[in-house]
Every structure is written in C-alpha cells, then in structure tokens.
Amino acid sequence: MADNYDAIVIGSGHNGLVAACYLALNGKKVLVIEKNHYFGGATTSVETFKGVKARLSRYSYLIALLPDQIIKDLSLNFKTISRSVSSYTPYFDDEGDKGLLVNRVFDQETVESMTALTGDSSDAIAWQNFYDSVQEFAGAIAPTLLAPLPTASEIQELVDPLTWIELVENTLAQTLHDNFFDDLIKGVVLTDGLIGTFTGANDHAANKCFIYHLIGNGTGEWKVPVGGMGALVDELLRRCNELGVEFWSDSEVVSARDQDDHVAIETADQRAVTAQVLLANCAPKVLEKISGIKAPDLLDGCQLKINMVLRELPKLKSGIDPKVAFAGTFHINESYHQLERAYQEALKGEIPSEIPAEMYCHTLTDSSILDSELVANGFHTLTLFALHLPASLFDKNHDEVKAEVVKRTLAGLNQYLERPIADYLALDSEGKPCIEAKTPQELETALGLPRGNIFHGNLEFPWKDDSDSRKWGVETESPRIFLAGAGAVRGGGVSGIAGHNAAMAALETLD
C-alpha cells in the first residue's frame, strides 16, 4: 500500500519549499518530490567552475518580489541588500564614450547624467514623475499579493486612474512615447517589460512583465541576496527540516491522478504515494503531461544566461570607475530602437544583429559568495542576461547557434570595454576560462522550464476579471490539485507568493 500524506509538493523550487513550510507549520504531513539530485530549482547557488571557490547564483540572481511577510512568517534568516546604483548604460556619440548613470536614490548626479545625454532636464523630470506614479501603484498592489486574488475593479479603486491607463490599458510603447523623448531612456525603462517575456513594446504582455518587475514589496527595488540565491533555499530547507517535511530527490513524478478522495502519484523510479492534496511547483505544462490537467499555451523562453568569474573588473572606455558601472544593472544594446529591432529580427527567426543584454556584479555588493583568497585577489562574478533569444532560434543546430549567440552577446559588451572580456576571465583548475552559458533548451532540461520560459508560463496581471471565480489564482480543474509555482497567477519570479497562496488554498481544502 502506498504511503499517504496530507500534501505532496512536486518540485523543490523556492515556491515548493515555501508551500511545504506553511503546510507543515499548520501541522500537515508533507512530502516534497524533486526530480533533480539537488533542491531549489531556479534559485540555486553552485560552484560552477572546477576548483574556483565562487558560489554563483546559477539561474536567478536578484530579488524584489519576495514579501518581507513570508520571511517573517517562516522565521527565515535571509537578507537582501540594496545596490547604490540602479543602472549604468554605456553609449557613445561624436565626442566619444559616455554613460547614463541612474543612482538608486534619484539625485543630482542622476539628473546631470540624464541631462548630459539628452541636452536638457525634461526626461530627468519625466523619469522622476513616472517612477513616483509607478511607486504609488506598487504600494497599492503589493499588500494584495498574499491575499485572495482581487478583481480588476477592486484594484482600480486603489490606484490613480491615470497610472492605470498608462500601465494597464495603454501599451508600454505608447506610455513611453507619451512620457519620454530620448531613445536610450525609453529603452532603459522598457527592459523591465521584456525580462523573460518574448514580446515587443506594443503588446500587453510587456505591461504584465513591467508591472511584475516594479511592484515587489511596494518599492520594486531589486536587491542582492546575501550569500546568493542558494542562501534562500538553504534557509527554506532548514525550516522544512525543523518542521518535519519529508523529501525525495532524484525522483521525477510521471503520473498524478485525482482519484476523487485523494491524489495518486507515481515516480519514474517506480515509487507510489498518495495525498489528500497535490501542490504542483513544476510548470503547468509539466503538470499537464503528468495529470492531464490542461495548461495554457505559452511564449518561448527568450533569454541566454551567462555566468562568469573574473580576475578583475573590466575597465571601461568611458573612464567611469568599474565599481560604479557594474554596481547596478549594466545595460547593453538596450535603447528602445535596438530592443524593438532585436525583437523583430528574432520574430523572423534571425539571431538579433545587436543582442540586448543586461549584466550585474554580485560581489560588488556582497562578496560572501567568494572565498576570502579570491576576494583578496580582486576576483569578481558577473551575471549576464541576454534578451530576445527565443527557444525557436536554438531548435536547429543548437550548439552552433549557441556559439554564435554567445560571441555576438560578448561583442556587444566588448564595444564598451578597454580590453575584451575574455582577457578578464579567471581560469579554472584545468586552465579553462570561467564562463558558462545557458540557453532556453538547457534550462528546460535542467529545471523542467517548458521551452525555457523562466516564469513557467505567460505572466498574467496580478488580479482577475470580475467574473473569474478563482479565489487564490492557484486553482486547477481538480479541487485537490493546486499550482504552487511561477505558473500561478502572481507566480513569476523569486517571490514565494505562489507557494504561500497554494498553501492557503490547500489548507482550506484540508481543514
């Protein structure tokens, strides 16, 4: 006879672990089943390069969406720190190499940098006004994320009507053109609508992605996880263990069937187990395969992630101190025009001629992911996230396309550096350069992300139509099976929100 649990969680991504903690805190008997030999899904830290003691956040790297409430409820000893710089965008004009510096706190230096780019202060003023409205909007939405899913009308009552029109009804393209003059400034703003979402500025998919990137904890500030993403998983595992959650690793769930009064589960290693409720931390498309519960169609994942360890920070042609340039998000080929052109080229099945990308250096804010010798010798990590590279580009001749894409992405970076990035790479114990790249297909193999979609599916606005009967946004057609991963409404990103909400829905069924 199969073992019986109150709840089984398929997948040990951070959302799965958050769900397991909340269920166990409420006295439920919980089992987490993970297909990989390690736990944490897309939120892991790994010593990626042989003999190099640098624990890189291999997939996700920055945190904005994880509510402080979850950290408090679960007594997690986990901290994130602010970056002093929000972003640096190198550019050149007739006079030479320059850069647009945006500090986290909008200050005189930022105004001067914007004015130097555009010739007057109008975009700087527009920037401040625009982000003040966004912040107000974020402040209204953030408190709703751990409560039952509000309706669009309820949210509309909480927010400024003009901001609603600009962020929800109008396309981002229109909103950007209405607010800003400069192509580079429009591009820097637009990137938050494109991370992990294969879309252009004229599609409302960009609005959804934009809103997710700006509402975290009511500020939308992207912070550095101390100790890397793996530190979050370590803490969640510690709490799970304290609370008596059981784990199976190296065990892929291949069947999950609602049997009316319980759910029956089978794994590839031929284990069978049952539960009163099932929480799917895996993507909805994976759940569809194993349970028959239909999942919505989704956009291709569209990013290339590159991880690097450097012997020293690269020097820039613009002359800015690299410790400033790389402290925030470093934008490459991300003017509005470049982003839109890259999207159109990728839509046609071509590798974008100029690949848009953004990059950041974890170790400038938190050096604890390096061992002390590497810190003393000036080593740093760099994380690059390239956009508009849909999985379809890599379907044929994967390895050749990947090599070309990596080459073109690094060429985009090199145009702003005094020496090519290859000159700065550390070497591993076999003398190989410390650089690895992950395509959407490789993410699908490693993490079960369908077509490499980092959000498990297409993002939805964090509210529902007035006629929608779902309570938490985690429900499926089975009353015993819930989405506890990025594919739930309000699920995308490192937030734990889907895990929390699935646990709340499951507890209502169990109690």
Q: Which is nearer to ligand FAD, 172 or 304 (CB)?
A: 304
Please select the residue that binds ligand FAD; options are 35, 55, 285, 380, rule is CB under 6 A: 35
Q: Which of 59, 137, 198, 330: binder of ligand FAD (CB under 6 A)? A: 59
Q: Does 286 bind ligand FAD (CB under 6 A)?
A: yes
**Unique residue bearing structure tokens 């500025």:** 201
* DSSP symbol at 442: H
Q: What CA–CA distance (Å, rounded) separates 248 from 231?
A: 21
Residue 13 interacting with ligand FAD (CB under 6 A): yes
Spatial separation of the C-alpha atoms in residues 401 and 396, rounded to whole Å: 8
- Is residue 486 close enough to count as binding ligand FAD by CB under 6 A? yes
**Interaction between residue 36 and ligand FAD (CB under 6 A):** yes
Minimum CB distance to ligand FAD smaller for 305 or for 402: 305
Measuring CA to CA, how many Å separate 218 from each of 18, 122, 419?
A: 21, 26, 40
Pairing relationship of beta strands 357-360 and 380-386 according to DSSP bridges: antiparallel
Instruction: Provide the 3-class DSSP secondary structure of residue 305.
Output: strand
| Tokens encoding 93 | 């004009």
Rounded-to-integer distance, Cα 184 and Cα 414, Å = 19
443 binds ligand FAD (CB under 6 A): yes
Q: Which is nearer to ligand FAD, 175 or 452 (CB)?
A: 452
Instruction: Find the binder of ligand FAD among 73, 160, 252, 428 (CB under 6 A).
Output: 252
Single out the segment in contact with ligand FAD by CB under 6 A; choices: 59-67, 113-121, 361-369, 471-479: 59-67
Residue of 15, 110, 175, 365 that binds ligand FAD (CB under 6 A): 15
Stretch near ligand FAD under the rule CB under 6 A, chosen from 35-43, 132-140, 154-162, 458-466:
35-43
Q: Does position 65 bind ligand FAD by CB under 6 A?
A: yes
Distance CA(42)–CA(449), nearest Å, equals: 9
Compute the least distance from the CB of residue 1 to ligand FAD, in Å. 22
491's CB contacts (< 8 A; 6+ apart) are 15, 455, 456, 473, 483, 485, 497, 498
**Per the structure block, which two tokens stand in for 127?**
């920037």
Asked whether position 193 contacts ligand FAD by CB under 6 A, the answer is: no
Work out whether 62 is an interface residue with ligand FAD (CB under 6 A): yes
Q: By the 8 A CB rule, do 369 and 228 touch?
A: yes
Least distance (Å) from ligand FAD to the CB of residue 32?
9
- Phi first, then psi, for residue 291 (nearest 5°) are -125, -15
Residues whose CB is less than 8 angstroms from the CB of residue 92 and which lie 6 or more positions away in sequence, other chains included: 98, 317
Burial class (CB in 10 A: 0-12, 13-18, 19+), 129: exposed
462 is an interface residue for ligand FAD by CB under 6 A: no
Among 5, 7, 16, 380, binds ligand FAD (CB under 6 A): 16
Footprint on this chain of ligand FAD (rule: CB under 6 A): 10-16, 33-36, 41-43, 59-63, 65, 252-253, 281-282, 286, 305, 443, 447-449, 454-455, 485-486, 492-494, 498
